Structure 1
Amino acid sequence: MSNSERICVGAIAGAFGVQGEVRIKSFCAEPEDIADYAPLYSEDGTQTYEIKLTRPLKNGLGARIENVATKEQADALRGTTLWTDRAQLPSLPDDEFYHADLIGLEVVDTGGAKVGKVHAVHNHGAGDILEINAPGRKTALLLPFTKAHVPTVDLAAARIVIDPPEDL
């Protein structure tokens, strides 16, 4: 299965305690939902992880992973991203998008001129920001992902229309 058919829903942040429990950082809107998307896979799809959430932790969730019984085994999984089949995820309303669907889309301005492509979507707590790689620019264009600045997202046409502020 290709990565376009999978979505990254979390990552293993390392061991928690000495009994093989791990700390998981969930990328889900409701962090506990990560357990509902099992089975979870490694990024390359070669490993499967059955997880059972054990408790909320500061900056994450405690979990047990099948066949992980020691701190050393848990530490060895640090940094592993957790992926699920896209079909496991709920459908979204028309005005909401999975970040994975936005990455790689062509970006044009309201006049139809090509601007670049979406390289990443960031969220540092104040809302989503599109990182757009634009030819001829030394740095990426960072644009708030709001209706005012991004009036149209057309997934079928693989394109986003932006209306950036004058000073951008």
Structure 2
Amino acid sequence: MSERDSGSLGRAKATSRAKTSDQASFGAFVRKPVEKAEGKAKAQVSAAASGAAEMRLETAESWPADAVEVGKIVDAYGLKGWVKVAAHADAGHGGDALLSAKRWWLLQGRERKSAPSLQSKTHSDSIVAQLGGVADRDVALAMRGTRVYISRSEFPALDADEFYWVDLIGLDVVNVAGVHLGKVADMIDNGAHSVLRIEYPASDKTGKPATAERLIPFVGVFVKTVDQAARQITVDWEADY
């Protein structure tokens, strides 16, 4: 994470979530379906009513401390100023936050701006949106390459047994015997389930300090508890595995 930005989560990571069900044990990550009908736009609360319908300049100080990068503007969409966003998660993952957030935080080079999301919808494998202050296609085209952030507080709420990947990064991992195994550095999606990538201090062949990693499948047989308040995950996993 750099400056006050939360940084990119990578493809298929922004809002993947874990869910318990009769078919999936605790910790199994599943995808949430997203409305595919392109003709249905999700209109946000009118920003005009709050007097914040236009794009505004921001600074590092005014940038949300909980901003999470969720995608990048890749093109204009249509002739009326809509933008097309490639989410850092497949459609159905990162789209949730992009569709629900009332304000998008925009970083283009070193320039920071924010804009209200007036309307947004899924379109094929991307998200398209109408932003306040973007009135025509030329303005939308000029925004290509802009990184899109959403305040973590605007992410859709999850059930008690569900987790956003961004909330797992940095948590301590201990086994059931209380041995510290390291910290979650990243999450990996192998198609069948998610995997915790854990980093811990070690030594290289010459005895110099180094960083090692271990991979633990995020499935119920191994992951026993996730305590976000204590910032700790307990796993059934030996230190010498």
TM-score by length of 1: 0.74
If each structure's helix is expressed as a fraction of its own residues, which one has the higher value?
1
Instruction: Give the distance between the partners of 1:104 and 1:121, measured in 2 at CA.
Output: 11
Aligned match for 1:39, one of 96, 103, 109: 103
Could you say which residue in structure 2 is the equivalent of 1:112? Answer: 178
Output one character per residue of 1:111-133: Cα deviation in whole Å (capped at 9) or x when no partner. Answer: 11111101122335433221111
Output one character per residue of 1:16-53: Cα deviation in whole Å (capped at 9) or x when no partner. Answer: 45744322234464836623221122479x42122344
Could you say which residue in structure 2 is the equivalent of 1:63? Answer: 129
Could you say which residue in structure 2 is the equivalent of 1:102? Answer: 168
Asked if 2 retains the 8 angstrom alpha-carbon contact of 1:122 and 1:131, the reply is yes
Shift of 1:104: 0.8
Identity of aligned residues (%): 24
Output one character per residue of 1:130-158: Cα deviation in whole Å (capped at 9) or x when no partner. Answer: 11112227653222211211111111221
Could you say which residue in structure 1 is the equivalent of 2:33? Answer: none
Unaligned runs of 5+ in 2: 7-64, 203-209
Shift of 1:7: 5.2
Instruction: Give the distance between the partners of 1:96 and 1:121, measured in 2 at CA.
Output: 15
Shift of 1:72: 6.4
Aligned match for 1:24, one of 70, 80, 85: 85
Does residue 8 (structure 1) correspond to residue 68 (structure 2)? The answer is: yes
Asked if 2 retains the 8 angstrom alpha-carbon contact of 1:123 and 1:129, the reply is yes
Instruction: Give the distance between the partners of 2:124 and 2:97, measured in 1 at CA.
Output: 17
Q: CA RMSD in A?
A: 3.4
Alignment: residue pair count: 166
Output one character per residue of 1:77-116: Cα deviation in whole Å (capped at 9) or x when no partner. Answer: 4250321241x33432221112222111111112111111
Letter in 2 for 1:152: T
Instruction: Give the distance between the partners of 1:138 and 1:30, measured in 2 at CA.
Output: 30
Unaligned runs of 5+ in 1: none
Q: Which has the larger radius of gyration?
A: 2
Bigger shift: 25-34 or 5-14?
Answer: 25-34
Bigger shift: 20-29 or 89-98?
Answer: 20-29
Instruction: Give the distance between the partners of 1:140 and 1:75, measured in 2 at CA.
Output: 41
**SS in structure 1 opposite 2:223?**
coil
Instruction: Give the distance between the partners of 2:216 and 2:149, measured in 1 at CA.
Output: 28
Report 1 or 2 for greater relative contact order, CA contacts < 8 Å, sequence distance ≥ 6: 2
